[in-house]
Structure 1
Amino acid sequence: MDYGLAHYGPTHAALQRALLRPHHNEWCHFCPPSLDGNGAAMARSGQYTPPTTSEEHDQSQHSQQPPRSRRGSLIACAQPGWETPVCCAGCHDGQVTFCRKMPNIKVFSGSSHCDLAQKVVDRLGIELGKVVLKKFSNQETCVEVGESVRGEDVYIIQSGCGEVNDNLMELLIMINACKIASASRVTAVIPCFPYARQDKKDKSRAPISAKLVANMLSVAGADHIITMDLHASQIQGFFDIPVDNLYAEPAVLKWVRENIPEWRNSIIVSPDAGGAKRVTAIADRLNVEFALIHKERKKANEVASMVLVGDVKDRVAILVDDMADTCGTIVHAADKLMEAGASKVYAILTHGIFSGPAISRINNACFEAVVVTNTIPQDQHMKECSKIQCIDVSMILAEAIRRTHNGESVSYLFSHVPM
C-alpha cells in the first residue's frame, strides 16, 4: 500500500513501516515527522532518523521527536493518503497523532438538511457524495447517485423535518439505490426521526406509524440506523437492525455551564411526566434539583390544568424536552413557573419543529432563551425570533459515523462532546 513516502528513498523504509504501527486505533504519534514541510525537510536531510525495528521504537526515548502542533490544531498535509494531524485526547498528554484518510466511505445528503450534512463531512475531512435529487412532472421522487458505491460504507443523512413525507420517501429511495448498487453497508443517519410520536396505540384503531417507518427503512435496504433523542426509546425495538440512539445531553450540559451564569442555582423542569427520566439525568449531572409539571384532567371535556411538583421560587428554571412543535405546552409551563416564583425561565429542546403559531408564542412568552439543536434547520426560525438559540450537534453525528466506520464503540458519545 502506497502512503506517499516513496520519494523519501529506501533509507527511510523503516519510517514507512513505523507509520503502519497502530496506536489506540490511530497511527502512531511518534514515528512519522510532520509531512507538511518541516517534517519532510527533516526526513530528506537526515535530521530525523526513524527506528529500524519495532523494538527500537518501543525503547526510544523520543529524543528525535518530530515537530508537534498545539493540542488539537490542524496542519495541512501535502502527502496523499494522509489526514491532518489530530490530537489523541486519551493518551500521551495530547501529543500529535497522524491519521490515514478514511477509506471506503461515502456520505450522501438528502434535501432536508444539507447544511448539517456539510458540517458533518467537513468534520470528517471528506467530500459529500454526488447525488441528484429531483421530481418528475407527476411529483414522483427521482434519485440519481452520481458516483460508484460498490463495496463502500455508505451513510445517508436525512432528517425528518420540513416536507416530512417527501423527505422520508427520498431517504427510502436513496437507501435502495445504494443497496442495489452493491454498497457493502448502508446507514441511515436520521437526526430527527419521523413519526416518532406515533409509537403506540393511544386510542382505538390508532396506527403505530413509527413501527411502519422502521419496517420501511429495513425493507429499503438500511443495515444500520443512527438517530438522536428518540421521542420514545422503545422505537429502537421496532427494528431488526442495529440502532444507535445518540443523546444531545452532553451538548446541552456544556451549553448550560457556558451560557447560564446562575446554573448552580437552577432547577431542571420536565413539562410532562413522560420526560421525568430525561430531566433527572441532566439534574444529576449538574448536581441540582428537578421539578415536574403534571397535567391534571379532573372531568371529561375539561381543559387540563397544570400542577407543579417541586420548589422553583427564586431559582432559574430550565425546561427540558425532546421536541417542541406548536409550543403550547412549554409556553404554558413557563407561565406556571413564573407564577410559582422562578427568577428566569429557559427552555432547552433537542428538536425544534416550531410549526403553526410556535414562533409568535415564543416571542410573546417569558423565556430568557429557547435553545434547540440543529437536528432540524433553524436559520429561518432564528431570524424570526431572537430568543431562539442553536446548539450544533454535527460533531456528535460525525464522530458517530467515524466510530461506526472504524468498528469502534459509540458509548463514549453518551456522556462526552467530541472536540
Structure 2
Amino acid sequence: MRGTLVFSGTSCPALTGKICENLGMAPAEADLSQFSNGETSVRILTSVRDKDVFVVQSGSPTINDTIMELLIMISACKGGSANKITAVLPYFPYSRQSKKKSHRGAITARMLANLLHVAGVKHVITVDLHASQMQGFFKCPVDNLHAEPLIARWIRMNVPNWKEAVVVSKNPGGTKRVTSLADALKLNFGLVTTDRKRAPNMTASMIMNHLDGWDNTPTYVNGVRRSRAISEDRDSDGNNSTRSSHVPGESQGSPRRSNPPPVRTNSLTRSPYTRAYTPSQTSPIEELKDEEENPDEAQVYNDQRAQEVTQGRLVQGHVVPDDFQSPAQSDVGADGSQSYQGGDDDPMTMSHASSFFAPEPHALGGSGDAGGSSDEEEEKLRDPKIEHMITLVGNVKDRPVLIVDDMIDKAGSWIAAAETVVKRGKAKKVYCMATHGVFGADCLEQMQACDCIDQIIVTNSFPIPDRRAKNASKLVILDLSYLLAEAIRRNHYGESISPLFQHMAD
C-alpha cells in the first residue's frame, strides 16, 4: 500500500511479519534497544513524513517495557511529521483494570488511554477488550475487533458433532460473551458459578420469621375486607378461629418450616400456574376450580432438585466426591463473609458472621466478575483449608462442552469448570477457548496436565514462547494476522470495517 508504513514492537515481531505479508509489504525499519540502566531507546530508520503509520505492539511478560516502547515509537513518529498514527494492540495492556476495585484503586486502563492520546495516537485497533465500555476512555476512534467469527469457524470445522455442543461460561461475568457465540452457532449455553460454603443464616431466618405474612395483601369478599392469610386458615368446622403461624424450631433454636416449599419437577402433568391458553379452552379460573374439586389430578410436587442444576464440592481447586472429608475450618474473607465447613460452633457466633451482618460488597468494593479473575480468588481456590461450592447450570450430558472466555491467565477456574462439566455433568469432551492466551506462571502446563481438558484454543494476540507451545500438545493457536491486516487496509483506504464482524463461511 502506497504511503503506508507498519512498524513492529519487540513484543510481536512474528505477528507483524504475517500482517505485512498479507498486505504485500515489508515491515518498516526501526532500531529498538535499551540502555544499560534499563531506559528504552527508539530510532526510526525511515522517513515517516506525511505517511500513514501503524505501530503493532501487544502484551508481553515485560508489559511495562513494551508500553514505554510503544509510547516512545508513537512520539518519534509524531515528531517525524507523520500524517496519521494508528496503534494496533491485539491485546490491550491493563484491560482488566478498567474500574475501581477498591476505594483507593486506580483505573489504569483509562490512564493508559490518556497516555496514548498525549503521545499522538489518532486511531486504535484492538481485539476483544476485556470490557467493551473501555472504548469510552479514548479521545480517538477505536476499532474493537472480535475473534468470535474465527473461533466459530474453527468449531464448525474441527469439533465433531458441534451442533450438539454446549457453550459454557466459567463465571457469571462472561455470560454475554458466551451467549453471543451460542447465538451465532445456534447452540445451547450453560453457566458455572463458584462460591464459598456459608454457615446457616440463623439470625436472618429468625427475623424473616417475624416478617411471615407481610405480603398477605387484604382481599375483599362480598364487600368485607379480609386478610388472605386469615381467610385461608379458617378451620374446617366454620368457626372464626385461625391456625397458629408459629414455625417450629430446630434443636439449636433456628426456626424451620414444617412443610418446605414445593419444587416443581419435570412431570408432564399440567401446572395450575403456567399454561398455554387458547380461545377454544375454558377459562383459567374454571380450570382452577376443577383442579380444587379433583385434587388427584393436580400438579404433583416433590423436593427433588431440577436436573439442569448440578452442584459439586470444590477443595483445593478440584472437584471431590460427596463423601470427601471436608476441611474443618471456617474462613473469614476480606469482605467480612464467613465460609463454614462443619463443627459444633456457637450459633450466635455463626449468625454474627453470616451474610446477614456482612452483606455482599458493592461495585466500588469489587463486584463478582472483577473478583473472579483476581489472584486472591485463585489463591482461595487452591487453599486446602477452604471448601467451595461449584454449580453447573445446564445439561451437558454426553455432549461436547466449549468453555469460553476472553483470556486465559490463571488455570484454577478453568480446571474447576472442566472437572465440573466432566465429573458432575458427564460431558463428553471439553474445549477451553479464549482470544488471549496470557498463560501466567505455569498455567499452560497445569491445563495440559488436566485429564478433563481435551484441547486449548487461543489466538496469537499474545506472544507464546515456542518452547512452551511445542510442549503443550493440547494447544491450538489461531492466526489473527488476516483479520488485523484487513482492518489496516480498510482503515487506510477509508472503507467500512463492518464485514470483519460477520461470521465467515466454511
Q: TM-score range by the shorter chain?
A: 0.7 to 0.9
2:435 is paired with a residue whose SS is strand
Higher relative contact order (CA 8 A, sep 6+): 2
Q: CA deviation at 1:404?
A: 0.2
Residue 321 (structure 2) aligns with: none
**Counterpart AA for 1:352:** G
**Counterpart AA for 2:480:** V
Q: CA deviation at 1:137?
A: 1.4
Residue 426 (structure 2) aligns with: 341
* Alignment partner of 1:411 out of 491, 495, 498: 498
Residue 327 (structure 1) aligns with: 411
**Counterpart AA for 1:333:** A
Q: CA deviation at 1:161?
A: 2.0
**Counterpart AA for 1:310:** G
Q: Give me the CA root mean square deviation.
A: 1.4
Residue 251 (structure 1) aligns with: 150
Residue 483 (structure 2) aligns with: 396
Q: CA deviation at 1:380?
A: 3.1
Residue 446 (structure 2) aligns with: 361
CA distance in 2, matches of 1:152, 1:358: 42
Residue 94 (structure 1) aligns with: none
CA contact (8 A) 2:59 2:463 kept: no
CA distance in 2, matches of 1:367, 1:119: 30
State yes or no: 1:177 paired with 2:264. Answer: no
Question: Deviations 1:280-321 (Å, cap 9, x if unpaired)?
Answer: 111111111000112224444345432111111111000011
Equivalence map 1:261-410=2 (5 Å): 261-299=160-198, 300-301=332-333, 302=339, 304-339=388-423, 340-365=425-450, 366-378=452-464, 379-410=466-497
State yes or no: 1:163 paired with 2:62. Answer: yes
Residue 11 (structure 1) aligns with: none
Equivalence map 1:87-98=2 (5 Å): none
TM-score normalised by length of structure 1: 0.74
Residue 301 (structure 2) aligns with: none
**Counterpart AA for 1:205:** R
CA distance in 1, matches of 2:126, 2:56: 10
CA contact (8 A) 2:444 2:472 kept: yes
**Counterpart AA for 2:398:** D
1:203 is paired with a residue whose SS is coil
Unmatched segments (≥5 aa) in structure 2: 199-331, 334-338, 340-385
Residue 190 (structure 1) aligns with: 89
2:85 is paired with a residue whose SS is strand
Question: Deviations 1:63-89 (Å, cap 9, x if unpaired)?
Answer: xxxxxxxxxxxxxxxxxxxxxxxxxxx
2:415 is paired with a residue whose SS is helix
TM-score normalised by length of structure 2: 0.61
Equivalence map 1:190-209=2 (5 Å): 190-209=89-108
CA distance in 2, matches of 1:415, 1:306: 35
Residue 125 (structure 2) aligns with: 226
CA distance in 2, matches of 1:311, 1:113: 40
Question: Deviations 1:219-273 (Å, cap 9, x if unpaired)?
Answer: 1111110000001111111111111000000000110011111211100011111
CA distance in 2, matches of 1:245, 1:305: 36
1:219 is paired with a residue whose SS is helix
1:326 is paired with a residue whose SS is coil
**Counterpart AA for 1:369:** Q
* Greater Rg by CA: 2
CA distance in 2, matches of 1:371, 1:207: 32
CA distance in 1, matches of 2:27, 2:505: 21
2:99 is paired with a residue whose SS is coil
Question: Deviations 1:307-338 (Å, cap 9, x if unpaired)?
Answer: 11111111100001100112211111101111
